[in-house]
Structure 1
Amino acid sequence: MILENEIGLSSFRNERQKASISILYTYGFLANCYEQFYKMHGMTNQQYNALRILRDQYPKPVSTSFLREKMLDKMSDASRLVSRLSAKGLVVVTQNPTDKRLVNILISETGHQLISDIDSDLYKLDDLMNGITEEEAVQLTSLLYKVRNSLKSTYDNTVTEEQVHA
């Protein structure tokens, strides 16, 4: 009854609905905490995520499509995100020499420094989960992996059925 009281619902259809609502509700809290953390560093969660990807690929340049594919938030507008990072001097964007329609994106020295500064504070984000043990965190990660696989399977089947009926 705790979740029901927190969100003002009297009951759920079943435990799976309750679990999915609980994930969404918890995501809201976690997302707000992450947003506040990155705001202290003058950026957004998506901007940090993009810089993290670029740092991991450095010195190899990446395209906006690669960045979008690796982003945690698949709905992010990678082109706009890269433009904002470039305006802040955190990335260097150049035209791809083999395909003029593409750009090459590299993290700049300023971007490296900023992400390094943020990394030294990342333990604060880890502390958000201090209400569960390490073993419970492993179990939660495993359960969320199963949920993602179920969602991907359902999505892939839905897309395939829509393509068949199109």
Structure 2
Amino acid sequence: MSNIEKLIATKNFTSEHHRGLVGLIFVGNWIVSKHQQFFKQYDITMQQYNILRILRGQHPRAANINTLKERMLDKMSDVSRLVERLRKSDLVERKSCEVDRRAVDVKITAKGLQLLKTIDGEIEKLDDCLKSSLNDKEVVQLNKLLDKVLNAY
């Protein structure tokens, strides 16, 4: 019996492809859970962290809401709501775009940059789940396989 079969207490996979898909979903959810636990200590979510990283990459330029939506890892995120929560925590500032008054420009604040600097010093802990189980060659193979799956869509 494989680990995935033990963890979800089933042997009822219709094929190895089905088993692989269930395994990906299970591992993906497990990794998300680890990330949620990690970011809780900084009082932000994974999605808020993603926005802060995007804004740091744009810094000192602003980004608009559509740019953030396009670059988010979680495409289902309500970016406007996430930005508002970050604004209330003084991690970002938002203002009407000078070129298009309907658009909103978002910039990371010094406090937001400092938070990311703090997280940068600890973020490697999240890599441990791959580092402790896969060697360098296996990680390269994993990345190629994931790219292959993504390229099919």
**Residue in 2 aligned with 1:58?**
59
How far is the alpha carbon of 1:135 from its aligned partner?
1.2
How far is the alpha carbon of 1:59 from its aligned partner?
1.1
- For residue 137 of structure 1, what is the amino acid of its counterpart? V
**Residue in 2 aligned with 1:38?**
39
How far is the alpha carbon of 1:128 from its aligned partner?
2.0
Equivalent residues in 2 for 1:102-141, closer than 5 Å = 102-129=103-130, 130-141=132-143
Structure 1 position 143 matched with structure 2 position 153: no
Q: State the Cα deviation string for residues 19-44 of structure 1 (Å, max 9, x = none).
A: 11100000111111111111111111
TM-score, normalized by length of structure 1?
A: 0.88
Unaligned runs of 5+ residues in structure 1 are 153-166
- For residue 118 of structure 1, what is the amino acid of its counterpart? I
Q: Distance in 2 between matches of 1:9 and 1:149?
A: 30
How far is the alpha carbon of 1:112 from its aligned partner?
0.4
> Comparing 8-17 with 134-143, which one deviates more in the overlay?
8-17
**Residue in 2 aligned with 1:4?**
5
How far is the alpha carbon of 1:11 from its aligned partner?
2.4
Q: Distance in 2 between matches of 1:147 and 1:104?
A: 35
**Residue in 2 aligned with 1:157?**
none
**Residue in 1 aligned with 2:15?**
14
Unaligned runs of 5+ residues in structure 2 are none
Q: State the Cα deviation string for residues 108-148 of structure 1 (Å, max 9, x = none).
A: 00000001100010111111211111111111111111111
**Residue in 2 aligned with 1:99?**
100
3-state SS, counterpart of residue 140 of structure 2? helix
> Comparing 127-136 with 80-89, which one deviates more in the overlay?
127-136
**Residue in 2 aligned with 1:72?**
73
**Residue in 2 aligned with 1:82?**
83
3-state SS, counterpart of residue 29 of structure 1? helix
**For the aligned residues, what is the CA RMSD?**
1.0
> Comparing 128-137 with 22-31, which one deviates more in the overlay?
128-137
How far is the alpha carbon of 1:16 from its aligned partner?
1.2
Q: Distance in 2 between matches of 1:83 and 1:90?
A: 10
Q: Distance in 2 between matches of 1:5 and 1:89?
A: 45
Q: Distance in 1 between matches of 2:5 and 2:56?
A: 43
Q: Distance in 2 between matches of 1:41 and 1:141?
A: 29
3-state SS, counterpart of residue 106 of structure 1? strand
- For residue 142 of structure 1, what is the amino acid of its counterpart? K
Whose helix fraction is larger, Structure 1's or Structure 2's?
1
**Residue in 2 aligned with 1:48?**
49
How far is the alpha carbon of 1:6 from its aligned partner?
1.9
